[in-house]
């Protein structure tokens, strides 16, 4: 299946560069381009893409608000946020439902790989850039953030959640717990359902916020 992508950025040159890259890739197609968050939301309603590559800082509706509207809507689209390491909006983007992050100066092959990873709902936290961004926001105090408590999950699921929070893939979790990769995948799927998490990024947030994984110092 071809991955359908919407490119959202208020800089036409960045959209053109990404489109040129994707046009050379047989398994990914550009379903549309948007210069604002509002345009991205409307395009999602019209085309129901697989992935929205989303800039954060845009005039009018920014990428965080657009991400929240897209992930809360009827579309099945997942959002990859365009960001930089010094971005102040990482926490808001994650909370809005973003499934991962791209850095604008990443290698082109890494950008394509990130799109494929998110489209497959696989180990989105594996890329080092996403892990560092997650560590950045959980290590900083945020006004109004309260500790969460875990309930309704088994001891084994709690251990799997801890390993997800450490950035492990299903295969790595399986090796660490001496279980099969299929069993690890089943545990992760149950955690997603029980915790109401959209993807592995939100499981990582939960692992930090419940104290299963300590924030870096």
Q: Is the pLDDT of residue 124 over 70?
A: no
Which helix (DSSP H) or strand (DSSP E) does residue 34 occupy?
strand 28-34
Intervals of CATH 3.40.50.2300 along the chain: 3-120
- In the chain, which residues fall in CATH 1.10.10.10? 155-209
Instruction: List the beta bridge partners of residue 125.
Output: none
Longest distance between any two alpha carbons in the chain, whole Å: 51
Class of domain 3-120: alpha beta
Q: Worst-scoring range by mean pLDDT, 13-17, 67-71, 123-127?
A: 123-127
Q: What is the mean pLDDT of residues 155-170?
A: 88
Q: How far apart are CA 158 and CA 85, in angstroms?
A: 30
Edge-to-edge strand ranges of the sheet holding 51-55: 28-34, 3-8, 51-55, 78-83, 100-103
Which neighbouring-strand residues pair with 33? Answer: 7
Residues, the chain, total?
217
pLDDT number for residue 132: 57
**pLDDT (tens digit, 9 = 90+) per residue, 11-64?**
999 899 899 989 889 999 999 999 999 999 999 999 999 999 999 888 889 899
Residue bearing the bigger pLDDT, 16 or 117: 16
> Which CATH code fits 155-209?
1.10.10.10
Question: What is the value of pTM for the model shown?
Answer: 0.69
pLDDT tens column, 87-109: 556 667 777 888 877 777 777 78
């Amino acid at each position: 299946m071809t991955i359908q992508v919407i490119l959202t950025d208020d800089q036409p040159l960045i959209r053109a560069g990404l489109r040129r890259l994707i046009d050379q890739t047989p398994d990914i197609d550009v379903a549309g381009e948007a210069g604002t968050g509002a345009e991205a939301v409307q395009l999602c309603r019209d085309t129901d893409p697989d992935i929205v590559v989303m800039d954060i800082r845009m005039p009018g509706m920014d990428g965080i608000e657009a991400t929240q509207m897209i992930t809360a809507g009827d579309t099945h689209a997942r959002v990859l946020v365009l960001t930089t390491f010094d971005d102040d909006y990482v926490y808001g983007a994650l909370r809005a439902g973003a499934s991962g992050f791209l850095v604008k100066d990443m290698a082109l092959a890494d950008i394509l790989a990130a799109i494929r990873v998110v489209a497959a709902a696989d180990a989105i936290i594996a890329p080092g850039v996403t892990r560092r961004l997650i560590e950045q926001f959980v290590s900083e105090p945020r006004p109004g953030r309260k500790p969460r408590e875990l309930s309704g999950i088994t001891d084994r699921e709690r251990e799997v959640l801890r390993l997800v929070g450490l950035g492990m893939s299903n295969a790595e979790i399986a090796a660490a717990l001496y279980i099969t990769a299929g069993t690890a995948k089943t545990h992760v799927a149950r955690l997603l359902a029980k915790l109401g998490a959209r993807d592995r990024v939100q499981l990582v947030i939960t692992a930090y916020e419940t104290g299963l994984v300590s924030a870096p110092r």
